[in-house]
Structure 1
Amino acid sequence: MPVTLARPCDLLEVIRKSRFLAQAAPIATPDDAQAFIKAVSDASATHNCWAWKIGNRYRFSDDGEPGGTAGRPMLAAIEGQGCDQVVVVVTRWYGGIQLGTGGLSRAYGGTAAKCLQAAEQLELVERIRCRCHCRFAELAVLKARLPDYEALIESETFDPDGAELIVALPQAQFDAMLGLIADISRGRSVLQTLEL
């Protein structure tokens, strides 16, 4: 089961007089990743290398380090820790000692991996989107019970009879949620899955 980070985190390492500051955060979109990279990059540093992964999408940058010595090892660290929806920036301040390509790969990848290992992680639960309509009298009861099924309300649209809810819930909770809605509405409302 893939994990993401509960909150942003950082870790500082000194390797042969160079300082490596890893900063990581949970993200939902590539724009979130780019905004984090821009926010934490230090213009006074020698390099601000980064990598992010969201599902099958990923990007990385060596920011002037020899090709393949920074961004790719950082992406490998993200994948190696079983993370998804995560961005990592490793900022390096050069200390005067050459590390070589192998040393750079170990420094960037290792600092990123240690940062992710030390972070508080959350399991990513794959959710399905569903729709249901319920009357006003049933709405408060249904909303109060949604957390029991790990269901999240994505949208709520009101009409003269009640409200249509779009909810996201774990696939494993679908049958139980179906039963709950049937019980609360006395069979009047049905939970329908939505196509992605």
Structure 2
Amino acid sequence: MNDSGSYPIPGRIHRVEDVIQRSRFITTVAHAPDPDAAHAFVASIRDEFSDATHNCWAFVAGPPGSTSRIGMSDDGEPHGTAGRPMLTALLHSAVGEVVAVSTRYYGGTKLGTGGLSRAYSGGVVTALKQMPREEKVDRRSVSLTLSYSDVDSVQRLIEQREWVLTDEVFGSDVRLEILVPASEIEQVHALIADQTRGSGIVEVGT
């Protein structure tokens, strides 16, 4: 992930195919913002290719290279020849929140452990290279407590900065809940202090 807190994610589902020694390999990659989404996608591919010999998979459901939310499966292939090489390819891809499923239709010729690892990892690498990408911006939740006299000017600031207003609560004072790019958190403190002459309270979510 770069210093701005943003990183590339899959823009849409993408699929590549290859035939290696008569075995057909179909690799499908997609966006996986969390493990549940990754597992749901794996299940959908299993349903689509229910007659396949294997549906091996791996996912990184977090920022690029992060190992906090990962998963993999060899789905009946020799241990370590499918899921692990696929996961390694994902972790080294600089792409975040991504799941890959590699479907194999066995063609009658054994590839050996090295051949299998190269086939499964190669499919993932090719799919990721060709896949459309979008930029994911890491946003933090921020709570602003303001006097009524400052609300209009702060709301104009929110629009100008393209921060996301998620909630407004009006009581003895006004609380605005916003989402801000992580790289702009320090600017929030300075800008709100300037807009409110130091009276605004800024609380950053964990």
TM over 0.5: yes
From 186, 189, 192, the counterpart of 2:200: 189
User: RMSD across aligned C-alpha pairs, in angstroms?
Assistant: 2.2
1:174 alignment counterpart: 185
- Residue of structure 1 in register with 2:14 after alignment: 9
The answer to whether the 8 A contact 1:4-1:26 is kept is yes
TM, length-normalised to structure 1: 0.84
> Structure 1 residue runs of 4+, over 6 Å off?
none
Cα distance in 1 for residues equivalent to 2:164 and 2:53: 43
**Shift of residue 124 of structure 1?**
4.7
The answer to whether the aligner puts 1:141 opposite 2:156 as a matched pair is yes
Which whole-Å deviations, capped at 9, do the CAs of 1:132-172 have from their partners, x for residues lacking one?
1344534641331232xxx444x3142234342142422x3
Q: Which runs of 5+ in 1 are unaligned?
A: none
What's 2:127 paired with? 115
Quote the Cα distance in structure 2 between the aligned partners of 1:142 and 1:178: 13
Q: Is the Cα–Cα contact under 8 Å of residues 152 and 169 in structure 1 kept in the other structure?
A: no
Out of 17, 23, 28, the residue aligned to residue 18 of structure 1 is 23
Note the 1:1-196 alignment, pairs <5 A.
1=1, 3-41=8-46, 42-54=49-61, 55=66, 56-134=68-146, 135=148, 136-138=151-153, 140-147=155-162, 151-153=163-165, 155-160=166-171, 161-170=173-182, 172-194=183-205, 196=206
SS in 1 for 2:89: helix
Q: Kindly provide the amino acid, as one letter, of the partner of residue 199 in structure 2.
A: R
> Percent of aligned pairs with the same residue?
36
Identify if the C-alpha distance between structure 1 residues 152 and 77 changes in structure 2 by more than 3 Å, giving closer, same or farther: farther
Say how many residue pairs are matched: 190
Report the alpha carbon displacement of residue 12 of structure 1 after superposing the two structures with TM. 1.3
Distance (whole Å) between structure 2 residues aligned to residue 60 and residue 77 of structure 1: 12
Q: Deviations over 1:31-73 (max 9, x none)?
A: 0111111112210111110001133221100111111111000
Q: Is the 8 A contact 1:139 1:163 kept in 2?
A: no
- AA partner of residue 181 (structure 1): I
